[in-house]
Amino acid sequence: MQRWQIRLVSLQRRLAFPQTSLQLCILGMLGGLAAAILIILFRLAIIGLQSFFLDKTDDFSSVDSEIRWLLPLVGAVLIGLIAWITGYKHYRLGIPFVIHRMKLKYGIMPTRNTLNQFFGGILALSSGFSVGREGPSVHLGAYGASTLGKYLQLPYNSIRILAGCGIAAGISASFNTPLAAVIFVMEVVLREYRVHVFIPIMLSSVVGALVTQGVFGSDKELALLNIVSISGWHLPYLVLCGIVFGAIAFVFNNNMMRLIKLFRNWPLLLRLTLAGAVTAAIGYLIPHAMGAEAGAIHYAVNAPDDIALLLTIFIGKMLLTLFALGLGVPGGVIGPVFGIGIVLGTILAIIPSAIIGDNSVAGTYAVLGMAGLMAATMHAPLAALVAVMELAHNPGIIVPAMLVITTAYITGVQFFNNKSLFLLQLDFLQMPYKLSPADDVLQKVGVLAMLDNQYQLLDNPDEPQVTQALDQLEPPQQLIIRRQHADSVEFLLASYDVQLSMTGASAVHYQPLQGLNHQATLAEVFAILEDKREGAVYIYREQEPGQLIGIIRWDQVRSLLVKQNNLL
């Protein structure tokens, strides 16, 4: 046991440094495994529930209409029941909440929120709501991997990386797109690219993909689409398609926020009931629009030239997704956006299909629609491009996809001032997701990486003992006084103060020190010391709060900030 503790202390100190390490890579893979197991349980639960009333997973057109309209109503009631059991204050879910926790809480996810996301997501997806499984997957992945870091009491800067590993594994396990999962984490969630973060996240994404492939196989849902290379004369038309995708993304984001704002004061149970009623009504008439994206893909493949059916599915899918997510049904937005984009792309393929005399390009346009709408809706152009490359297995799709994605993105940003749906939700909910430049630098370094042990510790000394110790100190040594009270321990930094000696008072100045857990980062040190811009904090281990393991001085923090972009 003693040997294990020694190794754990060494591991904690190693991971406090913002550097690539074998230990972090192994932990990232373990975090990815934990995330993948949670996602597998999540997906198996959905498949198991749907098998009672569906002939084919996510195909709600196969169920009798008498049962179909009841499913979302029952699902809404059960989701509300779970929210009531776990506590309504723990109902902030999905990717926006995860982004907030990554920036402000190092990716540590509350257990009750996770229970809401797990069971609520299973019910939402099983009962036909137009939500995606990637929202719960991101939440569950972050929870599984960060819990490993919490158990080992790792520094918070490394727990954040582990949470990113879990998110990548979760997305990879959901869509079988390991590289797109990595890019999504870096582009949308972390919003930065650093090698020491990129490597463990990439490994965890591989683990997530391999584990889920072992359970569900390596088939991708887009395998049904016939994706062919298209000639150069399509490119001008693809620019027009990109403009359409950018405009639709703005309409989608704008109406989503309108619904969120319109119903924000409604009780959660009432909002969920309304979402269930809308889904029941539209689903009764347009069953192909229910579920995540599989139903939309199926009909885009089987009826690529049925413009009336495709338009009906497109409108129904838009409405179902907006009302489900806008009213608070637990689930993700990426899956439905994929479905909407696929149907819209298939609709736009009708013109070139008419020109060439067949619908062989419908599958290609469907995938391009998915990529363009994802890029413009979530401001994730690189993740959208990589997802297309992985799902299509056709290098000929890259140039058309780049053209559509850039046109859609620029159209949304330049002409409609469209913002990322995730950031719009975060701004409305007043959940911070931005860090100051100083915090951004300091949160990446754990306090264990800069522990200063050049100090002398005295327990309950009298004044002569303090004076004698100060006289014998050799700079840059510090003198720390520990005063033990009946129910607490106090640490003081002792030093000479010439001004005090001139007044006739004691020449020794005692400055109280605040303590920080060994998991903390330099950002917490900065928050304590930035007003006075002097002094130090002491570091302790949670199991031994009265035992000093080191100090962090203000000049150490200042030196790091000056070194990193002259932030002070």
Residue 108: DSSP 8-state: P
- What does the pLDDT average to over 397-407? 95
Average pLDDT for the chain: 88
Integer Cα distance of 464 and 460 in angstroms: 12
Claim to verify: residue 417 and residue 452 sit in the same structural domain:
no
3-state secondary structure of 553: strand
Looking at the domain assignment, is residue 484 inside a domain? yes
Q: What is the CA radius of gyration of the chain?
A: 28
How would residue 7 be classed by pLDDT, with cut points 50, 70 and 90? Answer: confident
Domain that holds residue 511: 444-563
439 within domain boundaries: no
Please state, in angstroms and rounded to a whole number, the distance separating the CA atoms of residues 163 and 187.
Answer: 15
Domain boundary among 415, 434, 453: 434
Taking alpha carbons only, the member of 496, 416, 432 closest to residue 463 is: 496
- Predicted pLDDT of residue 131: 92
* Average pLDDT of the segment spanning 108-124: 91
Residue 301: predicted pLDDT: 67
CA nearest to 509, candidates 463, 550, 477: 463
pLDDT higher at 90 or 512: 512
User: Once rounded to an integer, what is the mean pLDDT over residues 50-75?
Assistant: 85
Is the domain of 402 the same as that of 499? no
Confidence grade of residue 492 (pLDDT, cut at 50, 70, 90): confident
Least confident range of 50-64, 272-286, 443-457? 50-64
**Residue from 331, 323, 326, 342 nearest 281 by CA:** 323
CA-based nearest residue to 562, from 441, 436, 452, 435: 441
Mean pLDDT value across residues 278-291:
89
Q: CATH number of the domain that 496 lies in?
A: 3.10.580.10
User: Considering the chain, what percentage of its residues have pLDDT values greater than 90?
Assistant: 50
Which residues fall within 8 angstroms of residue 286, CB to CB, at 6 or more apart?
312, 313, 316
Is position 397 within any domain? yes
For the cut 50, the answer to whether the pLDDT of residue 98 exceeds it is: yes
Cβ atoms of residues 108 and 101 within 8 Å: yes
Contacts of 205 (CB under 8 A, 6+ apart): 32, 165, 168, 169, 171, 172, 178, 179, 181, 182
Same domain, 393 and 450: no
Please state which of the ranges 149-163, 287-301, 426-440 shows the lowest mean pLDDT: 287-301
Asked whether residue 384 falls in the same domain as residue 504, the answer is no
Query: What is the structure's pLDDT at 402?
Result: 96
For residues 61 and 81, membership in a common domain is answered with: yes
Q: Which residues pair with residue 489 across a beta bridge?
A: 484
Confidence of residue 545 (pLDDT cuts 50, 70, 90): confident
Q: Which residue has the tokens 């819209």?
A: 344
Q: Is the pLDDT of residue 531 over 80?
A: yes
Least confident of 2-6, 25-29, 386-390: 2-6
- Tell me how many degrees the CA angle 156-157-161 measures, rounded to the nearest 5: 110
pLDDT band (50, 70, 90) for residue 520: very high
142 within a domain of the structure (yes/no): yes
What pLDDT, in 10s, does the model give residues 344-353? 999 999 999 8
Enumerate long-range contacts of 264-270, CB under 8 Å, 24 or more apart. Answer: 268/80, 268/83, 268/88, 268/91, 268/328, 269/80, 269/83, 269/84
Which pLDDT does position 345 carry in this prediction? 94
Of 407, 434, 461, the domain-final residue: 434
Q: For residue 189, what are the CA distances in angstroms to 98, 117, 149, 168, 252?
A: 8, 18, 19, 10, 21
297/175 Cα distance (integer angstroms): 14
Position 517 in a domain? yes
- Residues 427 and 514 reside in one and the same domain: no
Q: Is the pLDDT confidence value at 504 over 60?
A: no
Average pLDDT for 413-442:
90
Kindly indicate the confidence band of residue 502, based on its pLDDT and cuts at 50, 70 and 90.
Answer: low
Q: What is the pLDDT of residue 462?
A: 84
CA distances from 552 to 8, 159, 529 (A): 21, 21, 10
* Domain-ending residue, one of 401, 434, 467: 434
Mean pLDDT of 116-135: 91
**Above 60 in pLDDT, residue 121?**
yes
Do 395 and 473 sit in the same domain of this protein? no
Determine the pLDDT at residue 66: 80
Number of other residues whose CB lies within 10 A of the CB of residue 420:
18
Q: Quick one: pLDDT at residue 123? A: 94
Q: Say whether both 202 and 236 belong to one domain.
A: yes
325 alpha carbon, distance to own chain's centre: 17
Tally Cβ neighbours within 10 Å of residue 542: 9
The angle at the Cα of 176, spanning 36 to 39, to the nearest 5 degrees, equals: 25
Same domain, 396 and 452: no
Cα 281 to Cα 124, 260, 277, 284, 318: the distances in Å are 16, 20, 6, 5, 14
| Number of domains, the chain | 2
Per-residue model confidence (pLDDT) at position 39: 93
Q: What pLDDT score was predicted for residue 505? A: 54
Same domain, 354 and 448: no
392 and 488 in a common domain: no
How many helices (H) and strands (E) the chain has is answered by 26, 7
Is the confidence at residue 501, as pLDDT, over 60? no
Which pLDDT does position 568 carry in this prediction?
46
Q: Is residue 568 part of a domain?
A: no
Q: What is the pLDDT of residue 221?
A: 62
**417 and 547 co-located in one domain:** no
pLDDT band at residue 78, thresholds of 50, 70 and 90?
very high
Question: What's the distance, CA 513 to chain centroid?
Answer: 35
What does the pLDDT average to over 272-285?
93
Across the range 325-342, mean pLDDT stands at 91
Q: Does the structure show a pLDDT above 90 at 204?
A: yes
- Is pLDDT at 280 greater than 90 in this prediction? yes
Could you write out the three-class secondary structure of 205-248?
HHHHHHHHHHHHCCCCHHHHCCCCCCCHHHHHHHHHHHHHHHHH
Comparing C-alpha atoms, which of 248, 243, 254 is closest to residue 411?
243
Domain harbouring 164, CATH code? 1.10.3080.10
* Residue 296 confidence (pLDDT): 65
Residue range 405-416: mean pLDDT, rounded: 96
